[in-house]
Amino acid sequence: MKELEKVYDPSIVEERLYEQWMEKKYFHTKIDKSKKPYCIVMPPPNITGQLHMGHALDNTIQDILIRWKRMSGYNALWIPGIDHASISTELKVVQKMAEEGVTKSDVGREGFLKRAWEWKEEYGGIILKQLRKMGSSCDWDRVRFTMDEGLSDAVLEVFMRLHEKGLIYRGEKIVNWCPQCQTTISDAEVNHIDKAGHFYHITYPIKDSEEGLLLATTRPETILGDTAIAVHPEDERYQHLIGKTCILPLVGRELPIVGDTYVDREFGTGVVKITPAHDPNDFEVGLRHDLPRINVMNDDGTMNEKAGEYQGLDRMEARKRIVEKLKEEGYLVKIEDITHAVGVHERCNVVVEPLIKLQWFVKMEELARPAIEAYKKEDLRFIPDRFGKVYLHWLENIRDWCISRQLWWGHRIPAYYCEKCGHVEISKTAPSSCSKCGCDKLHQDEDTLDTWFSSALWPFSTLGWPENTEDLQHFYPTSVLVTAYDIIFFWVVRMVFSGLEQMGEIPFKDVFIHGLIRDEQGRKFSKSLGNGIDPLDVISKYGADALRLMLITGNAPGNDMNFIGNVWMLAEILPINYGMLLVLY
Amino acid sequence: MNLEEEEENKLLMLTSADKWILSKVNTLAKEMTENMEHYELGLAVQKVHDFLWDEYCDWYIEMVKPRLYDKEDSTRGAALWTLKNVLITALKLLHPYMPFITEEIFQHLQSSEESIMISQWPTFKEEWNNKENEQEIDMLKEAIRSIRNIRAEMNVVPSRKAQVFVVSQHEDVRGVFEKSKTFFKTLAYASDVMIQEDKTGIGEDAVSIVIHNAVIYIPFADLVDLEKEMERLTKEREKMLKEIERVEKKLSNQGFVAKAPVSVIEEEKAKGEKYKAILAQVEERIAQLKK
């Protein structure tokens, strides 16, 4: 036995031991059928990421579980990996290009992708190196990347299969559009924040009558796209008007007055304008009453040719002018100051515009059903159980998933359009000619897939799917997914239905939800608050053991925990641990 | 003698303290495994942490020290064996949480296994389980802890040893304490330990501490040097009287009361209250001592 050093220096010891473990290949897992498999697939950090306290906690928990199971005689495998993070990475690359004074259109798609890959090569591995510093015992021989060859193939395979089953379709839908980023964004990427705004109370005259209908809107620029007026069918005040016609102020278009139970009688005057091209609820009303959709806005948030004299104006400027005109012509009754929740894009904080777009969608109803069943049958377990309700809530209220994004970095949609007959070919590789008309001029869809499309496949794609690999047979379904509660919908739900659909089996038995790490005042760590603690700083000062102990002490499933309160322990813990040992000599 | 025999011999020499800590670490392994199966990782790590600090360092190591220092002690080998095996078990339980320091210690502590990472997770061993011993030592710990507490309350310096009487009508309880007399000397500053059925030979002024199924008595004079204590208390009394006078003077000064912020006045009043309370305690002690 060697003599122990008198003073424990974590930075020296930790580096030496990690190297020793790597050399001895302790982290590498060979399939051993005599042992029970235990597998965790690491939630892949974004390639744009730097290790933060959230990752540190997430990975500490996984490492504890995997080390424990390895010691307990399981065939324990922890697969690491990273995510291409479509929109975040694209924004970073665009930013970097802006510093050089170049834009995406200057360099073109190919040029841009070359830069994005270079960026990935340079920065993409940083976070994995940081995870090693934490002592993470993952199988580094099995690192996966959502855009590596195998995983890209898995993405195409799933797209083909879902399309064949009629579960992927292309359609006009109202989507959340970010006029700044020029892309569709998912519901979950919209932050609803309270903003000061106005209710503009406007009278719509009834045709051949002296009467008018009073209603209120917060977005008067959209009246140019109104195609109906709606009231509740059982509202005695307005029942007699259903079937009659209103005249749209400023435009003069005739609008049918329809009865729809979507209207809330108690809210405002009980009369609403219906603008199917600019509001998701109105879009649904429009479908029920077969109303035309008039889109009055361009993708950049300016008004288009349908807006007449307002064409070319920014939506906010158009709003101002339209209000002035309504006032001049006597339609404006009053302006009421209000505070209301406005949807903004979480990345750029620009107000999201609901717009109609031709997009690719995944039909959700059929896919959601088995995912709901799996939970109800207890094939899938949430720890703590209360998060099962969140999961169910999302699934039971699920809408079709818009999977196309107007971005370049990611998996390009495998749809090819015939330039002659317009036929759409779905194919893993570019078809040489149109299967319908034989024309050889086809072009691929410009859009890429939502970044969660590939992460939804993560638990089986990382094990080698669509190949029926030994890893897949031995380790699927995985044992537990460890994650924070903020991505239950984004990710957990989608992995479950994807696993059930493609593998016929849930991707993991347990979902262990841990809380978020907060500062001593209970605030989330964030760069803008300046309250972040860099886990790497803690490691270099006190060692990874101390960081891990701090993160896990007091940690209870699902609960947030405040970080600073634990710091005092650092000073005490290591010397005592070590000193205790010296007693033996 | 081969190694196995040596091991066995040591096991035969295990004292109740050794059996107690083995049983404790055994229970710890069982409980932690259960916690971890329920993903209660914070709870599990707290348990191994408490075990190492409280049971292992504060109690067990202190209890075995005399055996380690005495090279002639026939149970010295058993003590070393237990120290090592319990520590290895606890290190394994702590390893998933603190992989590095546990590995560093593990590799220094033994040479039969090359890494703690691939060692066996401790499982419950029936032969280490000894609830009776756990109860015995827990009772002893309670007695020692209460003696330490009373000494702390009375400001008794560690160098001042005192006679300890343990009185219990239960034969088995007396048996337990009889076996563990030495722990009172090393851990509770006892000069001598008497285990008896009744209060024979215990003075009226003895300080008493009631624990489960027994009462502990310590002669008052053993704890306190009457003359010195009187002197100290008298000084303390004078000091308090002076302080009280100072505060009262300040508070009756109209100029101060008119000008000083309310918070300062409140603070002074609070000080006055505190001094009065201390004075009352000191005077009570003086009265007691005079008896």
Please state whether the peptide bond connecting residue A477 to the residue before it is cis, i.e. omega within 30 degrees of 0: yes
> For chain A, how many residues are written?
585
Domain total for chain A? Answer: 3
Task: Please name which of A509, A486, A484 lies closest in space to residue A496, comparing C-alpha atoms.
Answer: A509
Bridge partners (DSSP) of residue A217 are: A200
Tell me: the pLDDT tens digits for A410-431? 999 999 999 999 899 999 999 9
> Considering only CA atoms, which of A215, A217, A218, A265 is closest in space to residue A239?
A265
Using an 8 Å CB-CB cutoff, list chain B residues near A4. Answer: 104-105, 108
How far is residue A247's CA from residue B1's CA, in Å, rounded to a whole number?
109
Cis, bond preceding B96 (omega within 30 deg of 0): no
Same structural domain for residues A83 and A131? yes
First-residue to last-residue Cα distance in chain B: 65
Q: Are residues B214 and B243 in the same domain?
A: no
User: Which chain B residue has its CA at the smallest distance from A22's CA?
Assistant: B117
First to last CA, chain A: 11
Stretch A303-314: mean pLDDT = 93
Contact between chains at B97 and A548 (C-beta distance less than 8 A)? yes
Q: Tell me the pLDDT band of B171, cut-offs 50, 70 and 90.
A: very high
Among residues B78, B105, B129, the one where a domain terminates is: B129
What pLDDT is attached to residue A481?
97
pLDDT at A526: 60
Same domain, A466 and A508: yes
Q: Which of B205, B223, B241 delimits the end of a domain?
A: B223
Residue B1 pLDDT > 80:
no
Residue A375 lies in a domain: no
In angstroms, the separation between the Cα of residue B140 and the nearest Cα of chain A is 23
Q: Considering CB atoms only, which of A1, A26, A61 is closest to B115?
A: A26
Q: Are residues B104 and B169 in the same domain?
A: no
Closest alpha carbon to A195 in A351, A301, A336 = A351
A345 in a structural domain: yes
Confidence label for A568 from pLDDT (cuts 50, 70 and 90): very low
Using H for helix, E for strand and C for coil, what is the string for A173-234? EEEEEECCCCEEECHHHEEEEEEEEEEEEEEEEECCCCCEEEEEECCHHHHHHCCEEEECCC
ipTM for the whole complex = 0.78
Token pair in block for residue A241:
């008007």
Residue A507 half-sphere exposure toward CB, CA atoms < 13 A? 29
Residue A530 has what pLDDT?
62
Measured between CA atoms, how close is B63 to chain A, in angstroms?
13
Q: What pLDDT was estimated at residue A213?
A: 93
Supply the range of the domain harboring residue A423. 413-446
A188 CB contacts (<8 Å, ≥6 apart)? A489, A490
The answer to whether the CB of B79 falls within 8 A of the CB of B64 is: yes
Residues A34 and A152 in one domain: yes
Q: With contact defined as beta carbons under 8 Å apart, do A471 and A518 qualify?
A: no
The distance of A54 to chain B (nearest Cα, Å) reads 16
Arithmetic mean of pLDDT over chain A = 89
Taking only the tens place, the pLDDT of each residue in A319-334 is 999 999 999 999 999 9
pLDDT tops 70 at residue B35:
yes
The verdict on B24 and B110 lying in the same domain is yes
> Which of B84, B101, B117 lies at the smallest CB-CB distance from A577?
B101
Residue A28 lies in a domain: yes
pLDDT in tens, A234-255: 999 998 999 999 999 999 999 9
Mutate to test the interface with B, among A3, A64, A508 (most CBs of B within 10 A): A64
User: Distance, in angstroms, between B38 CA and closest chain A CA?
Assistant: 8
* pLDDT tens profile A512-552: 998 877 776 777 666 556 666 788 888 888 889 988 988 88
Strand, helix or coil for residue B193: strand
Residues B102 and B123 in one domain: yes
Contact status, residue B33 vs residue B96, Cβ threshold 8 Å:
no
Q: Tell whether A224 is covered by a domain.
A: yes
Which of A:504-563 have CB within 8 Å of B?
A: 510, 512, 543-545, 548-549, 552-557
Predicted local distance difference test score (pLDDT) of residue A525? 67
- In order of A132, A141, B101, B273, the CA distances from A22 in angstroms are 10, 11, 17, 66
B46 and B83 co-located in one domain: yes
Q: Is residue A44 part of a domain?
A: yes
Q: Which residues contact A318 (CB under 8 A, 6 or more apart)?
A: A221, A303, A307, A310
Cα four-point dihedral sign A149, A155, A158, A164? negative
Query: Can you tell me the mean pLDDT for A472-487?
Result: 93
Do B66 and B165 reside in the same domain of the chain? no
Closest residue of chain B to A481, computed from CA coordinates: B39
Interface contact flag, A580 B95, Cβ < 8 Å: no
Chain B residues with CB under 8 Å of A26 CB are 115, 117-118
Residues 6 or more apart whose Cβ sits within 8 Å of residue A161: A502
Annotate B203-219 with DSSP letters as a single string: -TT-EEEEETTEEEEE-
Of A18, A548, A554, the CB nearest to B98: A548
Set of chain A residues whose Cβ sits within 8 Å of the Cβ of B99: 17, 63, 67, 135, 137, 544-545, 548
Nearest CB neighbour to A67, from listed B57, B83, B95: B95
pLDDT at A67 over 50: yes
CB B192 within 8 A of CB B181: no
CATH classification at residue A535:
3.40.50.620
Q: Is B113 helix (H, G, I), strand (E, B) or coil?
A: coil
User: Is residue B113 located within the same domain as residue B230?
Assistant: no
pLDDT, one tens digit per residue, over A357-377 is 888 999 999 999 999 999 999
Min Cα distance B282 → chain A (Å) is: 37
Longest dimension (CA), chain B: 90
Q: What is the CATH number of the domain that holds B48?
A: 1.10.730.10
Sole residue written with tokens 């060859």: A149
Question: Chain A residue with minimal CA distance to B111?
Answer: A1
Is the Cβ pair B104, A65 closer than 8 Å?
A: no
Q: Are residues A469 and A442 in the same domain?
A: no
Q: Do B117 and A26 touch (CB under 8 A)?
A: yes
pLDDT given for residue A561 in this prediction:
60
Output the six-digit token pair for B143. 């007695």
Last residue of a domain, one of B129, B155, B184: B129
The reply to whether B96 and B62 lie within a common domain is yes
Examine the domain organization and report whether B248 and B185 are in the same domain: no
Instruction: Please tell me the distance from the alpha carbon of residue A561 to that of residue A77, in angstroms, as a whole number.
Output: 28
What lies within 8 Å, CB to CB, of A277 at 6+ separation is: A174, A225, A283, A293, A294, A295, A296, A355, A356
Residues B193 and B264 reside in one and the same domain:
no
Q: Which of A356, A188, A329 is nearest to A249 (CA)?
A: A329
Q: Which of A250-254, A384-388, A483-487 has the lowest mean pLDDT?
A: A483-487
Does A573 score more than 70 pLDDT?
no
In chain B, the residue whose alpha carbon lies closest to the alpha carbon of A583 is B61
Q: Are residues A329 and A214 in the same domain?
A: yes
Band of pLDDT at residue A505, cut at 50, 70 and 90: very high
Within 8 A by CB and 6+ apart from B155, the residues are none
> Does B105 sit within 8 Å of A556, measured CB to CB?
no
CA distance A225 to A75: 62
Shared domain for A439 and A477, answered yes or no, is no
Sign of CA dihedral A208, A212, A213, A215: positive
Residue A203 and residue A345 share a domain: yes
Q: Which two tokens stand for residue A363?
A: 């039909």
Q: For residue A363, is it within any domain?
A: no
What would the two tokens of residue B236 be? 């303390």
Contacts of A549 in chain B (CB under 8 A): 45, 97-98
The answer to whether the CB atoms of B118 and A70 lie below 8 A apart is yes
What is the Cα–Cα distance from A499 to B177, expressed in whole angstroms?
A: 63
- Considering the domain architecture, whether residues A460 and A436 belong to the same structural domain is answered as no
Is residue A185 predicted with pLDDT exceeding 60? yes
Across residues A302-308, what is the average pLDDT? 93
Say if residue B105 is in the same domain as residue B185.
Answer: no
The reported pLDDT for the residue numbered A574 is 47
User: CB distance B98–A553 less than 8 Å?
Assistant: no
Is B170 within 8 Å of chain A by CB?
A: no
The domain boundary residue, chosen from A306, A333, A353 = A353
Number of structural domains chain B divides into: 3
Query: Sorting pLDDT into bands at 50, 70 and 90, what band is A6?
Result: low
Q: Hey, what are B148's tokens?
A: 């330490």
The whole-angstrom separation of Cα A516 and Cα A487 is 12
Instruction: Kindly identify which residue of chain A lies nearest to residue B46, measuring between CA atoms.
Output: A553
Report the percentage of chain B scoring pLDDT > 70: 96
Residue A483 in 3-state DSSP?
A: strand
Has residue A373 been placed in a domain? no
Say if residue A155 is in the same domain as residue A193.
no
Q: Does A7 touch chain B (CB under 8 A)?
A: no
Residue A341 within any structural domain of the chain = yes
Q: Does B50 touch chain A (CB under 8 A)?
A: no
Identify the domain boundary among A446, A464, A487: A446
Note whether B121 contacts A553, CB cutoff 8 Å.
Answer: no
Q: Which domain holds residue B116?
A: 3-129
